[in-house]
Amino acid sequence: MERRAFYRNGTLPWLLLAPQLLLVLVFFYWPTSQALYWAFTLEQAWGGGNTWVGFANFLAIFRDGQYWATVGRSAFYAICATGLSMAIALTLAMFVDRALKGTRIFQSVFVWPYAIAAPAAGVAFRFIFSPEAGLIGSINDIWPGIWSPATNGWHALGMVIVCHAWLGIGYNFIFFLAALQMIPKSITEAGAMDGARPFQRMLDLQLPLIAPTVFFLMIMNLISSFTDSFGLIDTMTEGGPIGATEVMVYNIYIDGFKGLDYSGAAAQSIVLMVLVIALTFVQFRWVEKRVHYS
């Protein structure tokens, strides 16, 4: 029998919802409305109000070749970080699901990175990947100059991607492990009796059965890669070297707060928002057709 909660006082539900509604209004709807206003206006050089310019700010960024390079870099960043994080998390979840020795300890340890703030992780990984004193930089003692994220853009971008992927492993691991544990053991045992190796059982049996979880995590990781990379890039590379790690969200910060182009930055933020919405729509419209929920 379905149970429902009824409030005799009609104002009580609204009082309970008020804090959350206030947070959403102040930190989401109000900034979004201001970004829309700034995106279609142009501030005077020395203040004094805004002038309506329509789509001029959008046309300006679309005609900028450097902006499209940033878009491509963001797409590359999102694909690599998502793929790396999900692949490692799935591998770890597979080992824990098999109940190997020590999995109880690792089951809790694997989740810890998710509790670390992105700027803190960025600072830690900046020292780890330091070419002078970091653990990874010790290879420079063997091959001098082979690792230099301060001068090589691909090294710097790879460093940030690895850190972003590491932060997402714990989140992905939780969902993958829960999905794997929902699969009846009789299915994997039957595959093992038929002679299928663990990797083959994962591809042919387990992965299709956890397809809804894979689909959900792919969406969440891609959105996170496009929107939550600011803290890492700001603490690790500050967009360098020579803009090699400037993704869309960090380019908004550079143009808005350092270049003081508020209108252009607002237009870029709207483009980023539309891109994330479109990406999610495409995934639900076409990718989800390959996902079976029963």
Each residue's pLDDT tens digit, 185-243: 777 767 777 777 767 777 777 888 888 888 889 988 999 999 889 999 999 999 988 88
Of 59, 70, 40, nearest to 262 by C-alpha is 40
Quote the CA–CA distance of 192 and 104 in Å, as a whole number: 24
Identify the bridge partners of residue 42 per DSSP, sorted by sequence position.
Answer: 51
Per-residue confidence band for 60, with pLDDT thresholds at 50, 70 and 90: very high
Could you identify the residue written with the tokens 């002038």?
A: 51
Task: Tally helices (H) and strands (E) across the chain.
Answer: 14, 2
CATH fold group of domain 79-287:
MetI-like fold (1.10.3720)
- Tell me the residue type at 20: Q
Q: Report the 10 Å Cβ neighbour count for 119.
A: 14
Quote the CA–CA distance of 264 and 252 in Å, as a whole number: 8
Of 88, 78, 156, 91, nearest to 122 by C-alpha is 156
Domain positions in the chain: 79-287
At 119-178, the pLDDT tens digits run 899 999 998 888 887 777 778 878 877 888 888 999 999 999 999 999 999 899 989 988
Q: Whole-structure pTM over 0.75, yes or no?
A: yes
Those residues with Cβ within 8 angstroms of residue 136's Cβ, 6 or more apart along the chain or in another chain: 128, 129, 130, 147
Q: How many residues are listed for the chain in this entry?
A: 294
